[in-house]
């Protein structure tokens, strides 16, 4: 675990002192719809300032305006980027770095479920491109802002589906035997492998954790899985908010959570060689300079 000064958390207001400011700055990707939007609402209710991200400028502006009304004060300007484009991700990161403000929490929430094998702008299998390579690149590009914050947190929204995923380092593009569920499960396993390896490489200063949000009737679930969920958006946002703000997890890193508790993760996440090789492969694909092992 990472050691650090204790913080106080006033439940109901979300005011944090110590390693975070009274109004921590949080970037929530995919916060114009579904769980991401509800997560943004809950964070603002607890005193955070939330940077909305979406693919549509119109929807991002609408979500931003809603958060301002909900919080009763100005919120940071939203950002727009298509996570299926690595250049678009780089542009968003550059825009955020140019604001020159410490980022207390990066919440990688955005995700897709593609029922057919498609390629991204960068000719990457689309599900893995959006669900893993985009947050992988964004996280590394935003490290300077996270490092300036002191005690910053990276939260990666994975899924219980990761326990059924497999990563084939020789066929990361899934050119053989593609199935839509297999691609999704692999991308969610990628989130956990990335979490474990990044936590080990970052060491003291920034924590990294992954989570299963629950099963809620978001667009991803109804259009991708073609089923309805039993959790409400508010319930599904709880673990993300907990990992973003709660002092109970200060210094906890490299873990996988469900229902705001550490939960069993895929045995693959304990394979140090797989975690390292997948991290290095992701660096090659995204053009990221690997952090020291």
pLDDT tens digits, residue range 74-102? 999 999 999 999 999 999 999 999 999 99
Q: Identify which of 192, 191, 156 has the alpha carbon closest to the alpha carbon of residue 264.
A: 192
pLDDT digits (tens, 9 = 90+) for 122-144: 999 999 999 999 999 999 999 99
According to the model, what pLDDT value does residue 290 have? 98
pLDDT at 69 over 50: yes
Catalytic site residue 184?
Answer: yes
**Residue 224, pLDDT above cutoff 90:** no
Binning pLDDT at 50, 70 and 90, where does residue 229 land? low
- The active-site residue, picked from 113, 181, 184, 279, is 184
Which of the four CATH numbers 3.40.50.2300, 3.30.365.10, 3.40.50.720, 3.40.605.10 does domain 8-286 have?
A: 3.40.50.720
The pLDDT score that the predictor gives to residue 214 is: 83
With bands split at pLDDT 50, 70 and 90, how would you rate the model's confidence at 21? low
Q: How much is the pTM?
A: 0.89
**Residue 22 confidence (pLDDT):** 75
Q: Give the residue extent of every domain in the chain.
A: 8-286
pLDDT band at 233 (very low <50, low <70, confident <90, very high): confident
């Amino acid at each position: 675990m990472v050691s650090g000064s204790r913080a106080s958390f006033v439940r109901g207001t979300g005011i944090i002192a110590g390693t975070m400011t009274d109004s921590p700055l949080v970037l929530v990707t995919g916060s114009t719809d579904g769980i991401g939007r509800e997560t943004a609402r809950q964070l603002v209710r607890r005193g955070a300032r939330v940077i909305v991200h979406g693919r549509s400028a119109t929807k991002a502006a609408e979500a931003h305006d809603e958060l301002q009304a909900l919080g009763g004060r100005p919120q940071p300007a939203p950002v727009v980027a298509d996570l299926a484009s690595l250049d678009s991700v780089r542009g968003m990161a550059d825009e955020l770095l140019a604001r020159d403000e410490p980022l207390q929490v990066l919440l990688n929430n955005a995700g897709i479920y593609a029922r057919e094998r498609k390629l991204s702008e960068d000719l990457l299998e689309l599900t893995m491109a959006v669900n893993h390579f985009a947050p992988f690149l964004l996280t590394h590009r935003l490290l300077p802002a996270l490092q300036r914050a002191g005690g910053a947190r990276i939260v990666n929204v994975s899924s219980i589906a990761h326990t059924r995923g497999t990563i084939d380092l020789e066929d990361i593009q899934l050119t053989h035997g593609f199935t839509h569920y297999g691609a999704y499960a692999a991308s969610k396993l990628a989130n956990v492998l990335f979490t474990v390896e990044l936590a080990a490489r970052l060491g003291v200063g920034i924590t990294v954790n992954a989570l299963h949000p629950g099963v809620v009737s978001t667009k991803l679930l109804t259009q991708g899985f073609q089923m309805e969920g039993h959790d409400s958006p508010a319930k599904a946002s709880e673990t993300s908010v907990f990992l973003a703000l709660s002092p109970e997890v200060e210094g906890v890193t490299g873990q996988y959570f469900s229902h705001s508790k550490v939960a069993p993760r895929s045995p693959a996440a304990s394979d140090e060689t797989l975690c390292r090789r997948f991290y290095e492969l992701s660096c090659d694909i995204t053009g990221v300079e690997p952090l020291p092992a």
